[in-house]
Structure 1
Amino acid sequence: MKIIYNIVLIVSVFASSLLQVHAGEQHTEKTLQVALVKTANQTTDSTQVVEMHEKLVTALYKKQQAFEMRVYVLVGIALLLVFIFGVLCFLNKRGDKRLEKIITLLEKRKLPTDEKTNTEHFQLDIDETIIDAILENLQAFENERGFLVSKITLHSFAKQLQTNTKYLSKVINAHKLKSFRNYINDLRVQYSIQKLENNGSYRKYTLKAMAKEAGFATAESFTKAFQKKTGKTVSSFLMHKNQILSE
């Protein structure tokens, strides 16, 4: 808005300048016209008078041309500023609309968890009985720590729960709010965190041993999943935990 205000101010200044130039040119033109009248009233036989008359006519013509040129330039600049003003107004309105869309999207993301889950649950297009059965099996899977099995895939897991991969994936996405792989990895990391907090001997394990017990195929996949969920590396987590225990 400050830019728009400045443009309006500039246009006003140019308009004022244009009026001043016009007034000055009118004064000069009147002066030249008076001089022309005086020379016309003098003796026409005089060569000096004729030359003076021609010079005054030429000067008046040049003044008129200069004035017109200034007017064209000032009008052109004013039109350009008006055009820029219009473009800025358009962009400003467009920016306001974009801001409203962003705010609307942010408000939608702030929906309560229950409301969000219910909306996604409605959009699953799966029979309620099937959804309830899958959720019950997932709870049993978590309680029995079935995620500690290293070689577990979506296909084998769906077969284990006696459902298909499409239904299982949709239910996990909607109710756990994550993909199947992230769901399994988060359960494994959470298991490792509990062991690190409650089991002193587990804290002495190597990364490879921790990864193996938690169901990860490699130490690298374990450390990546751990840092993704906690925001810390395993070593920094252990250091923090040891500091707490030593206090």
Structure 2
Amino acid sequence: METKVKIIQKLEKFEESGLFTNKNLSLPYLEAHLETNTKYLSRVIKNYKNTDFNAYINKFRIDYILRKLNDNKDFRHFKITTLAEEAGYASHSKFAAIFKQIVGISPSTYVQH
């Protein structure tokens, strides 16, 4: 029980840190960063965040870009590739697909409105 609480606390610090925008972020990377093991970390994310690792990271990345787009209107003039890189995606097409999946519209359409 105590270990779960520690991992949850470390996850919350990770969420606040912005490290989710790291292009090289992976489950093993996060496991090392949080000083736990992959299997246990996956289980905690699944049980306490109600999602899998990829969906967990994607949600933070898209929420991060949405905040940037809403808080700083200059971001609306950036190319989709730049937004993808800012969010931590190596591919603008992957970013666009995940953005649409989470938000319901493409990043291009979102930026225009």
The two structures have a TM-score, normalised by structure 1, of 0.45
- Give percent identity, aligned residues only: 33
Spell out, residue by residue over 1:196-225, the C-alpha distance to the aligned partner (whole angstroms, 9 max, x if none).
111111111101100001111110111111
Spell out, residue by residue over 1:137-193, the C-alpha distance to the aligned partner (whole angstroms, 9 max, x if none).
010001111101110110111011000001100010111111101111110000000
Q: Does 1:190 align with 2:60?
A: no
Q: Take 2:84 and 2:70, find their aligned partners in 1: how far apart are those partners? A: 16
Unaligned segments of structure 2, at least 5 residues: none
Within-5 A mapping of 1:172-187: 172-187=45-60
Spell out, residue by residue over 1:42-101, the C-alpha distance to the aligned partner (whole angstroms, 9 max, x if none).
xxxxxxxxxxxxxxxxxxxxxxxxxxxxxxxxxxxxxxxxxxxxxxxxxxxxxxxxxxxx
In the alignment, which residue of structure 2 is the partner of 1:27?
none
In the alignment, which residue of structure 1 is the partner of 2:24?
151
In the alignment, which residue of structure 2 is the partner of 1:234?
107
Q: Take 2:87 and 2:29, find their aligned partners in 1: how far apart are those partners? A: 18
| 2:9 aligns with one of 136, 139, 142 | 136
Q: Take 1:237 and 1:156, find their aligned partners in 2: how far apart are those partners? A: 31
Higher relative contact order (CA 8 A, sep 6+): 2
Deviation at 1:239, TM superposition (A): 2.2
Question: Which structure is larger by alpha-carbon Rg, 1 or 2?
Answer: 1
Spell out, residue by residue over 1:113-145, the C-alpha distance to the aligned partner (whole angstroms, 9 max, x if none).
xxxxxxxxxxxxxxx111101100010001111
Q: Which runs of 4+ in 1 moved over 2 A?
A: none
In the alignment, which residue of structure 2 is the partner of 1:200?
73
* One-letter code aligned to 1:233: S
Q: Report which of the two has the higher share of helix.
A: 1
The two structures have a TM-score, normalised by structure 2, of 0.96
Q: Number of residues paired by the alignment?
A: 113
